[in-house]
Amino acid sequence: MDNSNSKKTIFCVYGIILLSLMAANITAFGQTKADVPTPQIPEIVKLQQSARASYKERRAEEAYKKRDTEITPWVENAAPPNPDNAALLYYQAFLLRPELNTALNMKISEVLRGAESDRQIRTYLGQCLPMIEVVEIASRMPKCTWGIWHGPGPKFIEKGLRSEVSILNLILAVDARTLAADGHYRAALERCLTIRRLAHHTAEESKLETISRQPDAMALRTTQYTLGVMPPDAEILTWLRGQLAVVQGAPLNYAEILQANFKAYLNHVRTNPDPLKYMRKELVEKVESEQAKENARNLTDEQILSRTRKPFPRFFDSIFRILDSEMTYKHKCAQMQRLIDKLKEEEGTDPLVAHIINNSDIDVILGPHSHQYQFYVGRQAHINGIKAAIEVYLVVAKTGRLPKRLPDGLPKDPFTSRDFVYEKTDEGFALRCQCEEFLKRKYRLLEFKVKK
């Protein structure tokens, strides 16, 4: 075939294709996208989809009811794929969490405030079982490194992690309350211990330390609730006493909290340009000679930070001696306030140190009357109170009645360093702290019910 015939053949093929496309366009002419009918899902398909959803919910509810509630043996024998870092398992648990809708979220809040768990809650908890199992294993691992970026940049990763950890703690607390309501008391207390372990892991990251305290307090309240709905059982109570001695929640060493707060503030100064810029500017304005001003301008960032930190090791050493002393809460507060006033008076003449003292609001970060210190001592009172209450419950388990007075050698009221005030109530008993800061709170942490 010559070249001219080949071209004719190609043109004919193109022409046929073009005519086909034109015919298709003519057929569809006048039809817009909106005119094209939307395919309708047959009613039988809708029924099948509804049946599948109902089946999955029913299976989740059944799994929650039928599971082995004594979870300790399989958890202790489970071998995590990476024994070096619990955070890797926590991240996987976040991916396993079923989505929460608004209605279910509200129900969870109601259960945590005292409402009973219904079928919807139990179904959701059944769907959460794979996630809960992973968290149980992760919480028992000794090391947890979250890997949060500490340099400048977007904070959405940190914010997202805070949200996931908070939701996870809420689910664990609701699961504990539901287990207790269903009569699985030891499993409920196991879940409370898991929350405390997770709180401890969370606190190992300085940027997450603040969100570790509330879940730990929630775990203690849930433990208190469980003790109040279970019949006094000497075996479970003895086991719980031992667990509370070794399972640590959010840090209770206030000295470490102070150091972490100050370290976080200095890290903020180091990683953000504005604080260092203002500190250098203030120093230049305070000095008089031109040579001194020039020297101030030539200070490196690290030289500024080094000069800023200089008086604080001695200050913290004095604070720690006070915290480790046998003084009462009231006397410790007075002594720490004197140290802060002395720091301001003696070191406030240095513009760089004065900037840290004034702009970090040191009375809030380190002050003895700050919310942090009250919360710290109050949480210690809550932990000591639960430990003391376990001994009272043990007396009830062995004798069938409440003791006339507290047994000897129990943990003390940290506000006064004396025994708790013990009172019998209509529903059980109460342990009172005698400090004004505790008594003026709207809620009483240390009231315990005893199941008849």
Helix (H) / strand (E) element for 449: namely: strand 447-449
CA distances from 175 to 56, 108, 236 (A): 19, 10, 19
pLDDT digits (tens, 9 = 90+) for 378-410: 888 999 999 999 999 999 999 999 999 999 999
What is the mean pLDDT of the segment spanning 121-145? Answer: 94
pLDDT digits (tens, 9 = 90+) for 426-441: 999 999 987 766 666 6
* Sheet of strand 447-449: strand arrangement: 421-424, 428-432, 447-449
Distance CA 326, CA 324 (A): 7
Enumerate the β-bridge partners of residue 433.
none
pLDDT band for position 183 (50/70/90)? Answer: very high
Residue 25: pLDDT over 50? no
Question: How far does Cα 222 stand from its chain's mean position?
Answer: 15
Provide the pLDDT for residue 21: 45
Radius of gyration of the chain (CA): 32
CA dihedral defined by 252, 256, 260, 261, rounded to 10 degrees? 70
Residue 28: pLDDT over 50? no
What tokens were used for 19? 């005519």
CA distances from 259 to 133, 361, 391 (A): 35, 15, 35
Contact 420, 406 (CB under 8 A): yes
pLDDT averaged over every residue in the chain: 81
- Tokens 């926590």 identify what position? 90
What is the mean pLDDT of the segment spanning 209-235? Answer: 92
- Tokens 């047959």 identify what position? 42
**Residue predicted with more confidence, 8 or 388:** 388
What is the mean pLDDT of the segment spanning 195-217? Answer: 88
329 phi-psi bin (left φ>0, alpha ψ -120 to 50, beta other)? alpha
- Give first-to-last CA distance, the chain, whole Å: 106
The per-residue DSSP string of 142-184 comes to S--------SSS--HHHHHHHHHHHHHHHHHHHHHHHHHHTT-
Which residues have CB under 8 Å from 84's CB, separation 6+?
143
Distance CA 64, CA 271 (A): 48
